[in-house]
């Protein structure tokens, strides 16, 4: 251990003992003072989740958003209340791995090239998973409008990256195995550089399987088989997948779309299809979302449909700003702020349903969605 870390620990322990001794006797505050150390697993604008020997503890400190990344080591002295720590002092040690160094360079480049905090936060969150750069008010607008999933790198983002990579590879090397392998390599690098969250890993595995299938065999892909394959691989390399709420929502959302999805056709299918997908996810994950957020964001599907053009625009313009192109990217700030303002207008309190009503209603709605998803097939059989 470095001398500076030893001095920090000695100072923290001494101060902790002093605070405990000076607490009034007979007063039970339910809190404790101490020193905790571990590795950051999540970083947001409000602080970071620290993995310690005592479990995951939330450290509330906004400076972590700019200074730290997932994987950095942290020593914190502060007051703990349950799983929350209010720090008095922090000691951060940046991860020395190659991936962390590359991510830090990307983050510093982003901070230096995009000055507006809203535009910078959305660009960093959508392109590289830097959720710590997203301002608190902006993150709140997404949460209260039921669109927080758009900020979590998963299927939609990874699918866009996969299509871009495959298109570029085929332009250079034609429609062959080499193009597929290069696209998969790009997907793997994207997943690793974006932080390797469980939802992104799931999306990366499924996207890679789809690309390889198209490159080697072609034809229709069995999505349920690919879903199982992605889950098994995730459980092998990320044992905590089943305990991760984000992973639960990611895998649950994709499974519900595979089982309950319908091939909607018609003049306005570009609107109906994603809206119906949003309804499927909202209904299927209702118990999970209720346990996590305390309710259901009933306007989430509509807000998601409205957000898709803005999300794609911010990703494209943010990338142009990142690489230094200022002509077109000057639109990034007004589009970002307009998007957030719309989400603020769509913000609403979550719909809370008592459990004795939620689960029977949930079952009925799932059966209804299943019947609707297969209605065309039933209709043809009955004719």
* Interatomic CA distance for residues 259 and 131, integer angstroms: 31
Segment 80-92 mean pLDDT: 88
Output the six-digit token pair for 9: 């620990």
Structure-token match 């970071």, residue found: 48
265 vs 318: which has the higher pLDDT: 318
Q: What's the pLDDT score for residue 2?
A: 55
Q: What's the pLDDT score for residue 141?
A: 93
Structure-token match 């870390």, residue found: 5
Q: What's the pLDDT score for residue 130?
A: 87
| Alpha helix (H) residue ranges in the chain | 3-22, 63-67, 98-113, 117-128, 136-144, 155-173, 177-193, 198-216, 223-237, 245-260, 269-284, 286-293, 300-322, 332-345, 355-373, 375-382
Segment 349-373 mean pLDDT: 88
CATH of 30-96, one of 2.40.128.260, 3.40.50.720, 3.20.20.70, 2.40.50.1010: 2.40.50.1010
Q: What's the pLDDT score for residue 24?
A: 41
pTM listed for this prediction: 0.80
Q: What's the pLDDT score for residue 380?
A: 42
- Residue 77 phi/psi, 5° resolution? -110, 130
Q: What's the pLDDT score for residue 122?
A: 93
Question: Does the pLDDT of residue 20 top 60, yes or no?
Answer: no
For all residues of the chain together, what is the average pLDDT?
82
Question: Does the pLDDT of residue 165 top 50, yes or no?
Answer: yes
Q: What's the pLDDT score for residue 159?
A: 83
Q: What's the pLDDT score for residue 23?
A: 44
Sign of CA dihedral 184, 190, 193, 199: negative
> Over pLDDT 70: what percentage of the chain?
89
What are the boundaries of each domain within the chain? 30-96
Question: Does the pLDDT of residue 238 top 70, yes or no?
Answer: yes
* Interatomic CA distance for residues 141 and 228, integer angstroms: 34
With contact defined as beta carbons under 8 Å apart, do 76 and 68 qualify? no
> Over pLDDT 90: what percentage of the chain?
15
| Alpha helix (H) residue ranges in 198-244 | 198-216, 223-237
Centre a 10 Å sphere on the Cβ of residue 363 and count the other Cβ atoms it contains: 10
In tens, the pLDDT along 175-198 reads: 888 888 999 999 988 888 887 777
Beta bridge partners of 313: none
- Residue 25 phi/psi, 5° resolution? -70, 145
Q: What's the pLDDT score for residue 167?
A: 87
Q: What's the pLDDT score for residue 227?
A: 87
Question: Does the pLDDT of residue 340 top 90, yes or no?
Answer: yes
In tens, the pLDDT along 21-73 reads: 444 443 344 577 888 999 998 888 888 889 898 888 999 888 888 888 888 99
In tens, the pLDDT along 191-237 reads: 888 877 777 888 888 888 888 887 777 667 788 888 888 888 888 88
Q: What's the pLDDT score for residue 11?
A: 46
């Amino acid at each position: 251990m470095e001398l500076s870390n030893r001095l920090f620990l000695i100072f923290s322990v001494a101060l902790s003992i002093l605070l405990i001794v000076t607490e009034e006797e007979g007063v039970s505050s339910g809190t404790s003072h101490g020193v905790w150390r571990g590795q950051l697993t999540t970083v947001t604008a409000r602080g970071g989740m620290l993995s310690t020997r005592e479990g995951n503890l939330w450290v509330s400190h906004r400076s972590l958003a700019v200074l730290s990344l997932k994987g950095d080591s942290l020593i914190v002295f502060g007051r703990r209340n349950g799983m929350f720590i209010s720090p008095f002092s922090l000691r951060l040690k940046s991860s020395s791995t190659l991936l962390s160094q590359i991510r830090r360079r990307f983050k510093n480049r982003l901070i230096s090239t995009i000055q507006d905090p809203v535009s910078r936060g959305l660009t960093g969150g959508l392109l590289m998973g830097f959720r710590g750069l997203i301002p608190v008010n902006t993150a709140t607008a997404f949460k209260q409008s039921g669109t927080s999933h758009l900020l979590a790198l998963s299927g939609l983002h990874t699918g866009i990256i996969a299509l871009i990579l495959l298109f570029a590879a085929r332009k250079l090397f034609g429609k062959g195995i080499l193009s597929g392998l290069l696209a998969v390599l790009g997907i793997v690098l994207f997943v690793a550089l974006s932080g390797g969250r469980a939802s992104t890993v799931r999306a990366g595995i499924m996207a890679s399987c789809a690309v390889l299938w198209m490159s080697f065999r072609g034809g229709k892909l069995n999505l349920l088989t690919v879903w199982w394959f992605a889950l098994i691989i995730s459980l092998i390399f990320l044992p905590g997948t089943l305990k991760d709420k984000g992973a639960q929502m990611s895998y649950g959302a994709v499974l519900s779309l595979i089982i309950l999805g319908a091939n909607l056709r018609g003049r306005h299918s570009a609107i109906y299809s994603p809206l119906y997908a949003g309804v499927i996810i909202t209904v299927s994950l209702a118990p999970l979302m209720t346990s996590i957020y305390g309710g259901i964001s009933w306007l989430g599907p509509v807000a998601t449909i409205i957000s898709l053009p803005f999300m794609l625009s911010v990703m494209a313009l943010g990338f142009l700003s990142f690489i230094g192109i200022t002509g077109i990217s000057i639109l990034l700030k007004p589009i970002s702020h307009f998007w957030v303002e719309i989400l603020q207008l769509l913000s609403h309190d979550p719909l809370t349903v008592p459990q004795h009503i939620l689960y029977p209603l949930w079952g009925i709605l799932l059966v209804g969605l299943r019947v609707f998803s297969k209605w065309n097939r039933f209709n043809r059989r009955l004719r």
